[in-house]
Structure 1
Amino acid sequence: MDKQTRAFSTRLEFEQLLQLCLSRARLQLRMFDPDFALWQLGSSATDAILRPFLSGGGTLQLVAHSNARLERDAPRFLRLLKDYGHAIECRLTHKNLRQLTDSFCIGDGQDQVRRFHADHLRGEAVFGSPPDTQVCTERFIAIWQESSPGLHASTTGL
């Protein structure tokens, strides 16, 4: 696939591009957001994308400042975590990283959906371009290394 870039500024555009990014991934999804409030990780549509991805050997890594929204608002995601806990890892940032306010999803190191600030919907999606995902991939790795284990199926009472 040739490189495709799309700017977005509405919730609907963000949701559609994020679903596209999730559905294109085969091996790895890396996600960072302060709380994943707008990501609809507990929706039936997202569950329908992530279950085959995870059952096919894909891995999902999430980092957040807080998992409270996922625990409260995403019961399907919690079931997914219970069913595929071996393939999903959720981590929490330390206080020194709480100033980070962007939000992004990287699929297989070639697709990316990024909101420039988590409080706003303006952002950009890039598909089919590993060089364009490199900066966010490096940021994700650094954030991941500076975070601690977070949400687990066993700690949510599942």
Structure 2
Amino acid sequence: MDRQVFPFTTKSGFAGQLAACLARAEHTLRLFDPDFAIWELGSSASDATLRRFLKGGGRLQLAAHDGKPVERDAPRFLRLLKDYGHAIEVRRTSQSLRQLTDSFCIADERHIVRRFHSDHFRGEAVFDGPADIQTSLERFLTIWDESGPGLYANSTGL
């Protein structure tokens, strides 16, 4: 397929592009956000998409500074974590990374949805653009390496 770029500036624009990115994922999903508060990980649509992805053998990695919004507002995600804990890993960033304010979802190292700052909805989605995700992928791997265990199916703590 040809590379496709979709800029967005609204919450609904972000939500639509994120849903499209999650739906395209087959093997890996790598997500970073300070707290995932606006990601709607607990919605029925996200739950269905992520269950399909995980049932097909996908692996999900999430990194965040704070997991309280997910713990408080996303009971479906907590059930998903319980059901597919072997395929989901959640990490909490170290104190040295708390200044990071971007937000992104990388699917299969081919697709990305990114907000340039987590306090704003301005961002872009790039589908079938593996070269476009390289910087964010390297950033995620660094964040991942410098983060510790987070949320578990039977306990909180992200």
Equivalent residue, structure 2, for 1:56 = 56
TM-score, normalised relative to structure 2? 0.98
Deviating above 4 A after TM superposition, structure 1's stretches of 4 or more consecutive aligned residues are: none
Q: Deviations over 1:46-100 (max 9, x none)?
A: 0010001001100000000011010000000000000000000000001110000
- Any stretches of 5+ residues in structure 1 without a counterpart? none
Q: Distance in 2 between matches of 1:62 and 1:113?
A: 14
> Which whole-Å CA distance do the structure 2 matches of 1:130 and 1:111 have between them?
7
**Is there any run of 5+ residues in structure 2 with no aligned partner, and where?**
none
| Aligned-residue CA RMSD (Å) | 0.5
**Alpha-carbon distance in structure 2 between the residues aligned to 1:55 and 1:149:** 23
**What's the secondary structure of 1:6's corresponding residue?**
strand
User: CA separation in 2, counterparts of 1:32 and 1:18?
Assistant: 13
Query: Paired residue for 1:81?
Result: 81
**TM-score scaled to structure 1, two decimals?**
0.98
Equivalent position amino acid for 1:21 in 2: C
Q: Which residue of 1 aligns with 2:135?
A: 135
CA distance in 2, matches of 1:36, 1:54: 19
Q: Distance in 1 between matches of 2:6 and 2:129?
A: 13
Q: How many residues align?
A: 156
Counterpart of 2:129 in structure 1: which amino acid? Answer: S
Where does 1:1-158 land on structure 2 (aligned, <5 Å)?
Answer: 1-156=1-156
CA offset at residue 154 of structure 1? 1.7
- Once the 2 structures are TM-superposed, how far is the Cα of residue 15 of structure 1 from its aligned partner? 0.2
CA positional deviation for 1:103 = 0.2
